[in-house]
A and B are shown apart, each in its own frame.
Chain A
Amino acid sequence: MMYEHFDNIVKGITEKLNHDPDGINARKKYVLAISKLGKKLYSRDENIAWCGVTAPFDLLSAMGVTSCFVEFVGAMLSSTDTAGFFLEKAEDAGFATDSCAYHRAVMGAVLENAMPEPDFIIGTSSPCTAGLAIVENFAHQYKKDFFILNVPQNYTKDAVKYLATQLEEMTRFVSDHTKRPLSKQRLSFALENFNTSTSLLKEIYDLARTKPSPVDNKFLKDFGTVVALLMGTKQGIDICRAFKDELARRIKKGLHHASKEKIRLMWIQNRIQYPFPINEMLDDLGAKIVVDELNNVTWEPMDPDNPFESIAKRMISIPFSMGTAERIRQMQNLAKAYRIDGAINPCHWGCRQGTGARGLISKGLKDINVPVLNLEIDCVDSRNLAKGQIETRVEAFIEMLS
């Protein structure tokens, strides 16, 4: 089912792009690349690894492994409005209805054999231990080997060394399963690609910061989290370049959608995945999401001569990896840089990251005069959506900011 889904998207977008060979078409190229990745995962022509969100996808790519974080599938099922079936299957098997629906949907897919069987699994202790428990479940279900990367919460020399050592161990684990050693040259290429993508990402975010911003409510939706899957590849560079060119074009042509930017917003964590017209609602209210918390470059360039330490530093620098205080500091910096008027925290149900820190996040942003709306919404399970209540909260928040 999922292979056909990705295949249909690939065919449809490829046809559209063929009709417009000179266009930038950033978002289409991005969806195409992600769908191709989906196809690869489900065709099983290469070694496959299911991973945690913060896994080193560039390193895995350099080792010839097609890898992806499991929440990607949960989001995909939700966006196609098919998550309900798999959520019920997981619930039938005893998974609590108030657990994270990203993980529950994916667990249902595993139970229904709708997930491609991996060769091995790389779990990460960041961003959440629920995700770690789910991939451990996968390992049990598929009877596959499971490697855990324990990501420290502090950015210290010892912490970096600790994680770098684990990454070296992980490459040995991967080599044992793929029967291929790590090629230093391929890793260097992957890291160079990553660095080029990072430079382009910085340019994208610089352009997005412009006031009025050239982004619309959908343009950079969940971009930082998902593009990480591609950043060690040439394809990742192409995608990032297309986004940068698209934003530059919009600024040059004055396509700022300024009328829809009376209120500039920051979205905290991930967006709502199923069809729910919040972007259109914000458009109508003259509000624009100009920055997502996770659309941020928090790392230094990768050093091909010191790859494991570089990747370790990057993994620790991601907002979810470090403690809440550091996460709030990064959010405050974004709020100031993007000159936002308010922030929306969906407080995804069952999510430690989303709900656990909400009081501290609200306070941290209020301290710099940025009001926060806590939505209390399940971003994946549309069965839990109370549409009217969410609309009232969002509208009232925008009225308040206006």
Chain B
Amino acid sequence: MIFLGIDIGSLSCDAVLIDEKKNILSSSVIPTGVNNMEAIARVKKNVLDASGIMEKDISSIISTGYGRTRVKERNGAVTEITCHAKGIKHMIPGTRILIDIGGQDSKAMRLDPDGNVVDFAMNDKCAAGTGRFLEAMARALEVDINELGQLDKGATSDLVLSSMCTVFAESEVVSLIAGGTGQKEIAKGLNRAIAARTNSLVKRVAQDISGLPVAMSGGVARNKGVVKAIARSMNIDKVHTPETPDITGALGAAIIALEKTLQKG
């Protein structure tokens, strides 16, 4: 049996195909763009083509992400909170605190020893501290978003960005550049700002995280600068990240599709 998970977020659309033993057969991550229906069709085609599996062979599809109800062929829709928890349980077993920084939402989740969500907190309405924020900052720094994660290497100052509103922060970054502050110092300041926000979210679900393994999922987990800054902010040695953090939600959705099918017998 084959199961498909589709995570349609505001920035990226991800899909994962698994078999009944939870082996990943193929995965795909593409930009959502302005037409999410097109993105859904394309990401599905990508995973089918890559695995050589026919659409008719898929036993069940679970969709997640903000556009979860846009997946017409779904057998069910589950929120990204539950799906990321399910996905991380498979990728990094034993995770008790999960951070997911998505395109427009940041989330902190506390998981029980079985990987179930027992509490969660999400960012306020503004995009501060989200993937969209990082995208705007990369634009202001005139670097590719993928370069941002390494940009703070060698930074020595403790620059503090005074504004965490995406719009104001962008203009502040522009002012810092105009004032001669180096890219790496600004990048470090941005990472620290995101880390402070993220740490605040984590504290809402767990005041004391001692002894609780922390992991991070979502595309921003590829940004090593942010991940390290979060670990420093939380005063822990390491924030664990999966090899492919961007597919965590889609993988969780595929696993839920499998589990629901097995439950039905």
Using a CB–CB distance below 8 Å, which chain A residues touch chain B?
Answer: 371, 376, 384, 386, 388-389, 392-393, 395-397, 399-400
Contact = CB atoms under 8 A, between A and B. Distances in A.
B125 A400 contact: no
Given A389-B105, A392-B66, A399 B125 contact: no
A178 B118 CA distance: 58
Contacts of A400: 81-82, 116-120
Given A376-B125, A395-B79, A400-B82, A388 B66 contact: yes
Nearest to A372: B119
B138 interface: no
Contact of B117 (A376, A389, A396): A396
Contacts of A388: 66
B79 A396 contact: yes
Contacts of B14: none
A399 B117 contact: yes
Contacts of A395: 79
A396 B64 CA distance: 11
Contacts of B122: 389, 392-393
Given A376-B124, A396-B80, 6 more contacts: A384-B125, A392-B79, A392-B81, A399-B78, A400-B81, A400-B119
Nearest to A384: B125
A389 B125 contact: yes
B120 A396 contact: yes
A399 B78 CA distance: 8
A393 B119 CA distance: 11
20 contacts: A371-B118, A376-B125, A389-B104, A389-B105, A389-B122, A392-B66, A392-B79, A392-B105, A392-B122, A395-B79, A396-B79, A396-B80, A396-B82, A399-B78, A399-B79, A399-B81, A399-B82, A399-B117, A400-B117, A400-B119
Interface string B78-103: 11111000000000000000000000
A37 B38 CA distance: 53
Contacts of B124: 376
B168 to A, nearest CB: 16
Contacts of A386: 125
Nearest to B77: A395
A66 to B, nearest CB: 39
Nearest to A362: B204
B217 to A, nearest CB: 15
Interface in B14-56: none
User: Closest 8 interchain pairs by CB?
Assistant: A396-B81, A396-B79, A399-B82, A400-B117, A395-B79, A388-B66, A386-B125, A392-B79
A371 B121 CA distance: 12
A363 B5 CA distance: 35
A399 to B, nearest CB: 5
Nearest to B119: A371
Nearest to B126: A386
A263 to B, nearest CB: 14
A18 B147 CA distance: 72
Contacts of A371: 118-119
A348 B118 CA distance: 24
Nearest to B107: A396
A384 B124 CA distance: 12
Contacts of B79: 392, 395-396, 399
Contacts of A389: 104-105, 122, 125
Interface string B111-135: 0000011111010110000000000
A392 B124 CA distance: 13
A393 B105 CA distance: 11
Contacts of B125: 376, 384, 386, 389
Contacts of A392: 66, 79-81, 105, 122
Contacts of A397: 120
A399 B83 CA distance: 10
A121 B81 CA distance: 48
B142 to A, nearest CB: 30
B98 to A, nearest CB: 13
A396 B80 CA distance: 8
Contacts of B66: 388, 392
A281 to B, nearest CB: 11
A329 B27 CA distance: 51
Nearest to A371: B119
A371 B119 CA distance: 8
B81 to A, nearest CB: 4
Counting chain B CB atoms within 10 Å of each CB, which of A371, A393, A397, A400 scores highest? A400
A223 to B, nearest CB: 30
Contacts of B117: 396, 399-400
Nearest to A363: B207
A3 B158 CA distance: 61
A392 to B, nearest CB: 5
A386 B82 CA distance: 20
Nearest to B80: A392
Contacts of B80: 392, 396
Contacts of B105: 389, 392
Contacts of A399: 78-79, 81-82, 117
